[in-house]
Amino acid sequence: MSWTRGRTLGRGSSATVSLAMHRQSCEVFAVKSAELPRSKLLQREQSILSLINSPRIVGYVGCDFTNENGQLLYNLFMEYISGGTLTDAIRDQGGCLHESAIRSHTRAILEGLDYLHSHGLVHCDIKGPNVLVGHNGTKIADLGCARWVGEQAPAVPIAGTPLFMAPEVARGEEQSFPADVWALACTIIEMATGRPPWPEVTDPVSALHRIAFSSDLPDFPNFLSEEAKDFLSKCFKRDPKERWATQELLKHPFLGEECSVQVNLKQNHSCTSSTSPTSILNQSFWESMESDTETEVETPVHMSNQLVLVSSSNSPSEGIRRLIRHISSFSPTPSLPDWSWGEDWITVR
């Protein structure tokens, strides 16, 4: 396929996403590119995306290799979603969304998760920055962390964003369908408050510790309806076996009747935007990461930026390591993952 690269749409930890245009048809699409030697994860994402087809998941278009400025690149072509991420939409609305918009996005994400789960896939990194809002509705993107349900740690490392991790994931035990449901509830908190759950913790290290080993649950935003709070309570079960599955949640009264995913993003809302250090604008608090003990052991030289082992003792990465060592010292689970900490909205793999 002959195509032209356009402007950059976004940069993740593993790849750069650009606008692209098919030279013959002038059709526009998005291309996610990584240097070939560092494209293993992108190729894995392609292998998953090429097998699925849902209006709630960003569409697969194709893939190729290009030589650009002396660099050999692996390119994954996807449907272009013009409206930006859900996090962008929250920010554009002043830091939080009206409940009707939250309901609409939640239904769309849940339908996408239901599709993935029914096909044996766990997304593993549901959060606002990985949800795209377009004219055709809200869609789940970035399947770079996704895994087949049978693939578990240590064979496939734990992945995701610490503040969105379910207790069993934070403990390094398992990452299956219920973990996506927990992360969906965290994304509802994000939509309602403009910040991740656990706003009172001052750093992600404490959050991970609390998620893993306390009996606490994230606070439910006060202004939400009783239905919304009940929905959250079904997702925020610390025991993954008690957490509701996507099929059950789709019938929950909070979602009501089938509603359009086209939400009016200009609606007035009664919630107040956060000004805390953990507001949606403070990206450093939102960083995602992924353990890759095997890769780190076997390949100390990184495959992608997020695998660099940060040596500064003041770095968040080192902080996470200290946390893990700390947790390990009294955890009943000895095989906790080894974390790295990235720089921006990146998922460390």
Q: What's the min distance (Å) between Cβ of 52 and ligand ATP?
A: 14
- Contact region for ligand ATP (CB under 6 A) — 9-17, 216-224, 268-276, 329-337? 9-17
For ligand ATP, the closer of residues 85 and 175 by Cβ is 85
Number of residues that bind ligand ATP (CB under 6 A): 25
Specify whether 64 is catalytic.
no
What is the total residue count of the chain? Answer: 349
Contact call for residue 160 and ligand ATP (CB under 6 A): no
Of 9, 61, 166, 211, which lies in the binding site for ligand ATP, with binding defined by CB under 6 A? 9
Q: Cis peptide before 55, with omega less than 30 degrees from 0?
A: no
Residue from 20, 49, 61, 81 in contact with ligand ATP (CB under 6 A):
81
Site for ligand ATP in 39-58 (CB under 6 A): 58
**Nearest-CA neighbor of 307 among 277, 299, 320, 195?**
299
∠ CA 317-321-327 to the nearest 5 degrees? 140
Among 30, 113, 324, 327, binds ligand ATP (CB under 6 A): 30
Residue 17 to residue 342: CA distance in whole angstroms = 18
Residue 15, interface with ligand ATP (CB under 6 A)?
yes
Q: Quick one: tokens of 205?
A: 């290290």
Using the contact rule CB under 6 A, the part of the chain among 73-81, 104-112, 210-218, 319-327 near ligand ATP is 73-81
From the list 64, 92, 114, 125, the catalytic residue is 125
Pick 175 or 221: Cβ nearer ligand ATP: 175
129 binds ligand ATP (CB under 6 A): yes
**CB-closest chain residue to ligand ATP:** 12
Residue 153 beta carbon to ligand ATP: minimum distance, rounded to whole angstroms = 18
For residues 257 and 60, what is the distance between their CA atoms, to the nearest angstrom? 29
The most distant pair of C-alpha atoms in the chain lies apart, rounded to whole Å, by 62
218 binds ligand ATP (CB under 6 A): no
Residue 158 near ligand ATP by CB under 6 A? no
**In what helix (H) or strand (E) does residue 189 lie, and over which residues does it extend?**
helix 177-193
Q: C-beta of 313: minimal distance to ligand ATP in Å?
A: 25
Does position 347 bind ligand ATP by CB under 6 A? yes
By CB under 6 A, residue 144 contacts ligand ATP: yes
How far apart, in Å, do the first and last CA atoms of the chain sit? 30
Task: Report how far apart, in Å, the C-alpha atoms of 241 and of each of 149, 174, 179, 245, 269 are.
Answer: 15, 12, 11, 9, 35
Listing DSSP states for 190-258 in one string gives HHHHSS-S-TT-SSHHHHHHHHHHS---PPPPTTS-HHHHHHHHHH--SSTTTSPPHHHHTTSTTT-S-
70 by Cβ neighbours in 10 Å (0-12 / 13-18 / 19+) ranks as exposed
CA 89 to each of CA 4, 129, 180, 190, 331: distance values in angstroms, whole numbers, following the listed order: 28, 10, 21, 11, 39
Determine which residue in the list 75, 85, 93, 193 makes contact with ligand ATP, applying CB under 6 A: 85
Q: Which is nearer to ligand ATP, 9 or 169 (CB)?
A: 9
Q: Are strands 71-78 and 28-35 parallel, antiparallel or unpaired?
A: antiparallel
32 is in an annotated binding site: yes
């939640």: which residue's tokens?
106
The 275-314 site mask, x for binding ligand ATP (CB under 6 A), equals: -------------x--------------------------
Contacts with ligand ATP, residue ranges (CB under 6 A): 9-10, 12-15, 17, 30, 32, 58, 78-81, 85, 129-130, 132, 141-142, 144, 288, 345-347
Which residues are annotated as part of the binding site for ATP? 32
Catalytic residues: 125
